[in-house]
Amino acid sequence: MKEIHTVIRNLREDHDNTQAEIATFLGISQQYYSQYERGSYEIPVRHLISIADLYGASMDYVTGLSSFEKRVEDAEQPFTAETTVGDFMSSVLKLDLQARVAVKEFVEFQLSKN
């Protein structure tokens, strides 16, 4: 389980934001926000919610309870004309480990072609 301060720092860096930008978004000083990322100050729930909303991440991800960043409603997105992302993921989870590895390798191959 990742710690909250690590998750919020990684999210900020992955989205090329500065601490000052996020601090302004939250209505606090950059120095105060930096203490959140260091783990020196406990970040209030209202700020965690704002950060999750900003990045479209789930609260489970932001709080380190899940390694899956997306929100539940993202599972309702169409995967194909007949299948949602959630339906597809449920199907993949029913596969044995060898089949899951094959799916993962196929997806990685397709991504490398793009």
Question: Is residue 42 in some structural domain?
Answer: yes
What's the pTM? 0.69
Q: Which residues pair with 57 in a beta bridge?
A: 70
Q: Are residues 49 and 14 in the same domain?
A: yes
Q: Are residues 54 and 80 in the same domain?
A: no
Q: Which domain holds residue 51?
A: 4-62
Please give the distance of CA 35 from its chain centroid, rounded to a whole number: 21
**What total of structural domains would you count in the chain?**
2
Output the tens digit of pLDDT for each of the chain's 114 residues. 789 999 999 999 999 999 999 999 999 999 999 999 999 999 999 999 999 999 999 999 999 888 878 877 777 889 999 998 888 988 998 999 999 999 999 999 999 997
Q: Are residues 42 and 89 in the same domain?
A: no
Q: Are residues 56 and 81 in the same domain?
A: no
Q: Are residues 56 and 26 in the same domain?
A: yes
